[in-house]
């Protein structure tokens, strides 16, 4: 999984790093001049957070909608991530969004693991 977000001149690079690590604590972070990039294979905290926030359906919808063979993407709000919250981002945010690209041979199976189908808010097999 690759995580990318722009680094604006007014932003503290360590705060942007913290925002990413709040959602993906195992990510290896590289801070560039105008972009922060993270890589990880671990989604446990993200998966726990979307369950605790009861936003499985929203996350699943975005992941499925963006799905292509072997890859999907999701856009998250950077400020919410800094506050330890998962929030989908629509359109362009002033500080930029956190773009998460997930790759897998069986992307549908991975989406089912990240954000399974629900009925009345309860996960279904």
> Over the chain, what HEC string results?
CEEEEECCCCCCHHHHHHHHHHHCCCCEEEECCCEEEEECCCCHHHHHHHHHCCCHHHHHHHHHHCCECCEEEEEEEHHHHHCCCCCECCCCCCCCEEEEEEECCCHHHHHHHHCCCEECCEECC
Q: How far apart are CA 103 and CA 89, in angstroms?
A: 20
pLDDT tens track for 37-68: 999 999 999 999 999 999 999 999 999 999 99
pTM summary value: 0.91
Q: How far is CA 102 from CA 9, 26, 119, 124, in A?
A: 28, 15, 25, 23
Q: Token digits for 38?
A: 């993270």
Phi first, then psi, for residue 96 (nearest 5°) are 90, 160
Note the pLDDT tens digit of each residue in 104-124: 999 999 999 999 998 877 788
pLDDT exceeds 80 at position 95: no
CB 38 within 8 A of CB 29: yes
Q: What is the pLDDT of residue 19?
A: 97
Domains delineated in the chain? 2-118 (3.30.1440.10)
Q: Hey, which residues does 28 pair with through a beta bridge? A: 39
């Amino acid at each position: 999984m690759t995580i990318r977000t722009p680094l604006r001149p007014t932003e503290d690079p360590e705060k942007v790093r913290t925002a990413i690590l709040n959602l993906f604590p195992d990510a290896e972070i590289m801070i560039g001049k105008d972009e922060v990039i993270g890589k990880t294979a671990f989604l446990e905290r993200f998966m726990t957070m979307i369950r605790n926030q009861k936003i499985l359906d929203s996350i699943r919808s975005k992941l499925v909608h963006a799905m292509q063979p072997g890859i999907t993407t999701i856009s998250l709000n950077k400020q919410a991530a800094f506050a330890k919250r998962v929030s989908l981002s629509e359109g362009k945010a002033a500080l930029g969004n956190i773009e998460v690209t997930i790759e897998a041979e069986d992307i549908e199976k991975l989406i089912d693991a990240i954000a399974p189908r629900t009925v009345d808010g309860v996960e279904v097999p």
